Amino acid sequence: MPTIKDIFFTTHTLPCGLRIICAPCPTQVVYCGIAVDAGTRDELPHESGMAHFVEHMSFKGTERRSARQIINRLESVGGDLNAYTGKEETVFYSSVLKQHLPKAIDLLVDITFNSTFLQEEMNKEVEVVIDEIESYNDQPSELIYDEFEEICFPQHPLGRNILGEASQLRQLTNKHMHAFHKRMYRPDRMVLFVYGNVDANQVIRLTEKALIRTDLSHPSYSIKPEARVTPPLLGVNDSERIITQKKDTHQAHVIIGGRSFGGNDPRHLHLYLLNNMLGGPCMGSLLNLSLRERNGLVYTVESNATCYTDSGVWTTYFGCDPCDVKRCLRLVERELHKLVDAPLSLHKLNATRRQLKGQIAISYDNYESLAISTAKRYLHYGTTQTMQQLFDRLDALTPEQLWATSQEVFTPQNLRTLIYQ
């Protein structure tokens, strides 16, 4: 059995277009799922929130199973079944003991292809989704991220809230849902992934068997959805640079950031390393040391680099007392200016690279997360990447490359600030 560092992948494409990717994992638990190339950015204007709603409704009954049977299928053997919706994909995933892999694959194929979307179930579930929206609206530290992306991607589906809006969701019918499902849930837009101590040929056979019960002859499957439109490049006007909104919150919530790079752009790796140094999960990140440890101004400060296939967003978030907002902003700007004004020393780059490699290695022990991230990469880019390959790419980075990326992303004229106060 190869080590996680040297993990290899077996891939196969079925005649219907469904891609399968398998990788070995040294445990008796198998992590598997289906990643669908359908997310918020694929919704038509009248379908806002549809991708997420379809994910919910996929658990509410198929032609063969009731909602209760779907729930019990894996739970009865101690397994887990879950899903999430993103801007560019919907992922259904499960974890089971390897002897129950046939149950998992059969169920995953059933709920992704054969959901019935009954109107009476939709009428109930829409209220559940609306409760989810209201709960989310009560969390300004989460809500501010969505609003910031809306600012960064105006009039573009990438700026659309994943959950949608209550008024529009209540107008959707099962006819709308079937139309979205037939348009986007095509086998050639899916990847079935399995990460475990199982034989790839067995996975292929189990998938083919599960698909026998699925009608792939529907005419909609021959109609390809419209190509995704890459968001246009935008400048930042002075009037858009700082946006303040009044919110009834104890804290002020602040995001600074702007547009960045898509997954096909090699500079997204530069930003990945810079972001980790600035505001990653370590207590020793530059922003945490500056705002929290040295000045005691915040409880939380973090930065994130969100990468889509053709674009991205970089952000720094912090929450603080309203009277400290300006001081916190100055401290954040000071750290960004350091990266813009001069390249990192080779010593600092090597230390940052060493830290990030350690974090990556630890993350590879989270097998479920690794399985999902591998599936997403294969879904969107048709490639795989071992940990060693990622390390090699990090080792090739130079201070000059990172400096050029810093000047492009972190300069004040490219940044916006959104404040809830």
Same domain, 182 and 306: no
Q: Is residue 277 assigned to a domain?
A: yes
16 C-beta neighbours (distance < 10 Å), count: 15
Residue 318 CA to chain centroid, in angstroms?
Answer: 21
Predicted confidence (pLDDT) per residue in 55-102, tens digit:
999 999 999 999 999 999 999 999 999 999 999 999 999 999 999 999
Q: Which domain holds residue 78?
A: 11-222
Residue where a domain stops, chosen among 196, 222, 248: 222
pLDDT at residue 216 in the model: 77
Same domain, 218 and 247: no
Predicted confidence (pLDDT) per residue in 359-386, tens digit:
999 999 999 999 999 999 999 999 999 9
Residue with tokens 């912090």: 318
| Range scoring the smallest mean pLDDT among 126-135, 192-201, 218-227, 233-242 | 218-227
Q: Is residue 15 assigned to a domain?
A: yes
| Range scoring the smallest mean pLDDT among 1-10, 65-74, 102-111, 115-124 | 1-10
Same domain, 17 and 54: yes
Same domain, 249 and 175: no
Q: What percent of the chain has pLDDT over 70?
A: 96
Residue where a domain stops, chosen among 222, 249, 268: 222
Predicted confidence (pLDDT) per residue in 166-176, tens digit:
999 999 999 99
Same domain, 272 and 181: no
pLDDT at residue 205 in the model: 97
pTM above 0.85? yes
Q: Say whether pLDDT at 259 is over 70.
A: yes
Same domain, 96 and 179: yes
Same domain, 256 and 197: no
Q: Is residue 273 assigned to a domain?
A: yes
| Range scoring the smallest mean pLDDT among 109-113, 206-210, 222-226, 296-300 | 222-226
Confidence of residue 223 (pLDDT cuts 50, 70, 90): low
Q: How many domains does the chain have?
A: 2
Q: Is residue 324 assigned to a domain?
A: yes
Predicted confidence (pLDDT) per residue in 267-291, tens digit:
999 999 999 999 999 999 999 999 9
Same domain, 257 and 334: yes
Same domain, 66 and 95: yes
Same domain, 144 and 265: no
- Phi then psi for residue 221, to 5 deg, are -70, -15
In whole angstroms, what is the distance from residue 274 CA to residue 280 CA? 9
In whole angstroms, what is the distance from residue 294 CA to residue 288 CA? 9
Residue where a domain stops, chosen among 222, 247, 279: 222
Q: Is residue 213 assigned to a domain?
A: yes
Q: Is residue 146 assigned to a domain?
A: yes
Q: Is residue 6 assigned to a domain?
A: no
Confidence of residue 4 (pLDDT cuts 50, 70, 90): very low
Q: Write the CATH number for 344.
A: 3.30.830.10
Same domain, 333 and 382: yes
Amino acid 403 reads: W
Residue with tokens 């300004």: 140
Same domain, 204 and 339: no
Q: Is residue 232 assigned to a domain?
A: no
Predicted confidence (pLDDT) per residue in 320-335, tens digit:
999 999 999 999 999 9
Q: In the structure encoding, which two tokens stand for residue 19, read together?
A: 């891609």
